[in-house]
Structure 1
Amino acid sequence: MNKENSKLGRGLSSLLSSKKDNQSESKNFKKINTSSIKANSQQPRKRFGKNEIEDLAASIKSQGILQPIVVRQKAENTFEIIAGERRWRAAQIVGLHEIPAIIKEMNDEEALQAALIENIQRENLNPVEEARAYQLILKDNKINYESLSNLIGKSRSHISNTIRLLELNEIILNYIEEGKISMGHARALIGVPDAVDLAKDIINKKLSVREVEKNTSKYKNKKPKKNLKDPNILNLEQELSEKIGLKTSIYFNDQGSSGSITLYYSDLDQLDDIMKRLKK
Structure 2
Amino acid sequence: MTSKSDKPYKAQANLDILFGTQETDSTPQTLKLNAIILPKTQPRRYFDPQKLDQLSLSVKTYGILENLLVRPIPSKPGVYELVAGERRYRAAVAANLDTVPVTIRDLTDSQALEIALVENLQREDLNPVEETEAILQLLANRLQLPDYFAVSSLLYKMQNMVAKKITDNVISNEQIEIVQQVFHDLGRMEWESFVSNRLPLLRLPLDVLEALRQGKIEYTKAKAIARLKDLTG
Which residue of the partner structure matches residue 111 of structure 2?
A: 110
Greater C-alpha Rg: 1
Separation (CA, whole Å) in 1 of partners of 2:184 and 2:83: 21
Aligned positions, number: 186
- The code of the aligned residue for 1:146 comes to Q
- The code of the aligned residue for 1:131 comes to T
- The code of the aligned residue for 1:20 comes to E
For residues 1-280 of structure 1, what are the structure 2 equivalents within 5 Å?
A: 8-10=11-13, 14-15=17-18, 19-20=22-23, 24-25=25-26, 28-74=27-73, 75-140=76-141, 141-142=143-144, 144-154=178-188, 155-160=190-195, 161-193=197-229, 219=231
Separation (CA, whole Å) in 2 of partners of 1:48 and 1:115: 15
TM superposition shift of 1:125: 2.3
Change beyond 3 A, Cα 1:52–1:136: same
Q: In 2, are the aligned partners of 1:16 and 1:104 still within 8 Å (CA)?
A: no
Give % identity. 31
SS at match of 1:192: helix
Q: In 2, are the aligned partners of 1:32 and 1:101 still within 8 Å (CA)?
A: yes
Q: Following TM superposition, where does structure 1 have runs of at least 4 consecutive aligned residues deviating by more than 6 angstroms?
A: none
TM superposition shift of 1:72: 1.2
Aligned alpha-carbon RMSD (Å):
2.6
Q: What stretches of structure 1 of length at least 5 have no aligned partner?
A: 1-6, 196-218, 221-280
Q: Which has the higher contact order (CA 8 A, sep 6+)?
A: 2
Q: What stretches of structure 2 of length at least 5 have no aligned partner?
A: 1-9, 145-174
TM superposition shift of 1:107: 2.0
Change beyond 3 A, Cα 1:52–1:71: same
Separation (CA, whole Å) in 1 of partners of 2:58 and 2:209: 32
- The code of the aligned residue for 1:41 comes to K
Q: Deviations over 1:154-174 (max 9, x none)?
A: 232343332331122212211
Separation (CA, whole Å) in 2 of partners of 1:147 and 1:55: 37
